[in-house]
């Protein structure tokens, strides 16, 4: 397990020092010890710990649960609660704030190690899940889907939009989806174009032939005069 920066929030100095010693024995760095929630919120801005060990009952106006709520909202840093109390009402409040662990004092070294590992792993997974969810939501926001009945002209194949305007199919689909168009000619249209071209060439040749005969007739008449 890599070295982790941990902020200890504990209002009993002796207990705080004992926890600090255990954390350092596990190879972690204690970036600060605070005795109140207000002090912790001030210290966290400069210390930027990876995790906070939070005593549930603290000196000052903010208790540990209220402080943890603010830390989660402002910094998204995982919090593990520590307490010598196990009242149901206290545990219920603590659960509502969704901590990453819950330790009973006095904190045993092995229990501390396991709780830290689980908390850090869970927080890593939560961050990855949040990032993935955001990417998926961004992708969904970019996707525009066509659905329902689309009014299309039976002759010119234009589509009527929701404002009553008629647009060509390519323009309508481009505006209402992420589709992009490349252009080509299908086999049926190739045959049709070739047929029209051949007819055009025949017609042009026929007109040229008629003009040539007329010009020849005019020339012959002029020579006979």
pLDDT in tens, the chain (225 residues): 567 999 999 999 999 999 999 999 999 999 999 999 999 999 998 999 999 999 998 888 999 999 999 998 899 899 999 988 767 777 788 888 889 999 998 999 999 999 999 999 999 999 999 898 888 887 766 655 666 678 888 878 888 887 888 888 878 777 777 777 777 788 888 888 788 877 877 877 776 666 666 565 555 555 555
Question: Going edge to edge, which strands form the sheet with 51-55?
Answer: 29-34, 5-9, 51-55, 79-83, 101-104
Q: Which residues make Cβ contacts (< 8 Å) with residue 109, sequence separation at least 6?
A: 22, 25, 26
The encoded tokens of residue 154 equal 């039976």
The encoded tokens of residue 151 equal 């009014």
* Residue 119 CB neighbour total at 10 angstroms: 21
**Secondary structure of residue 42 in the 3-state scheme:** helix
Q: Which residues make Cβ contacts (< 8 Å) with residue 15, sequence separation at least 6?
A: 55, 105, 106
Superfamily classification of domain 5-140: Response regulator (3.40.50.2300)
Nearest to 95 by CA among 81, 83, 107: 81
Q: What is the pTM for the complete model shown?
A: 0.62
Q: Answer whether 37's CB lies under 8 Å from 10's CB.
A: no
Place of tokens 């919090």: 79
Q: Would the CA dihedral through 102, 106, 112, 114 be positive or negative? A: negative
């Amino acid at each position: 397990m890599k070295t982790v920066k941990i902020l200890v929030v504990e209002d009993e100095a002796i207990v705080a020092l004992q926890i600090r010693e255990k954390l350092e024995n596990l190879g972690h760095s204690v970036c600060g010890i605070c005795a109140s929630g207000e002090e912790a919120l001030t210290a966290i801005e400069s210390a930027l710990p990876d995790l906070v060990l939070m005593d549930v009952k603290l000196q000052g106006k903010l208790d540990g649960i209220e402080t943890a709520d603010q830390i989660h909202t402002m910094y998204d840093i995982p919090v593990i609660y520590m307490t010598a109390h196990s009242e149901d009402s206290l545990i219920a409040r603590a659960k509502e704030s969704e901590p990453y662990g819950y330790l009973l004092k006095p904190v045993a070294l092995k229990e501390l190690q396991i709780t830290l590992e689980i908390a850090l792993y869970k927080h890593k997974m939560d961050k990855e899940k949040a990032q993935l969810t955001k990417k998926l939501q961004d992708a969904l926001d970019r996707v525009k889907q066509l659905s329902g009945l689309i009014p299309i002209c039976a002759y010119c194949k234009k589509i009527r939009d929701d404002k009553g305007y008629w647009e060509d199919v390519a323009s309508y689909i481009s505006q209402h989806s992420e589709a992009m168009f490349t252009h080509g000619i299908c086999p049926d249209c190739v045959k049709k174009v070739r047929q029209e071209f051949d007819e055009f060439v025949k017609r042009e040749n026929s007109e040229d032939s008629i003009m040539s005969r007329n010009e020849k007739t005019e020339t012959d008449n002029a020579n006979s005069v």
